[in-house]
Amino acid sequence: MGTIKEEAHKFIIEQLKARGVEGIVPSHGAILHELFRSGTLPMSEIALRIKRKQPTVTVLIEKLVKLGYATKEKDRDDSRITNISITRRGREFKPLVDEVSLAMIKKFSGGLSDGELDTLEDLLAKMLKNC
């Protein structure tokens, strides 16, 4: 599984670079996915959803903010909470993320039948539940 993850990360980085995207790494993908779905989330909620520690998420979000894909703002009702929002640039980035994701799926699943893909998806979902 570690080798597959490494190859997937390498593929994503190559694909983004080929499309002129600099500064985004595969770890940003999970955060962007959550922001694409929700628009705005507390940083702590993002950390929970992507199963990463708060300091790691903070560093990744700082980079997204610096690159203009997200903004961060203290919650009006509770200043301990930092809300992260997708920006216009971030929303415009979604089709490219989807394109790279689809290319990766095609590459990694090329030799599998539809039935094998369904089985693999089911097995991975079961494995994920144990995490």
Number of domains in the chain: 1
- Convert the pLDDT of each residue in 32-87 to its tens digit: 999 999 999 999 999 999 999 999 999 999 999 999 999 999 999 999 999 999 99
Which CATH number goes with the domain that contains 83?
1.10.10.10
Supply 72's token pair: 């961060």
End-to-end C-alpha distance for the chain, whole angstroms: 14
Predicted TM-score (pTM) of this structure? 0.86
Structural domain span for residue 80: 2-129
CA distances from 48 to 14, 30, 52, 89, 93 (A): 28, 11, 7, 25, 23
pLDDT-derived band at 111, boundaries 50, 70, 90: confident
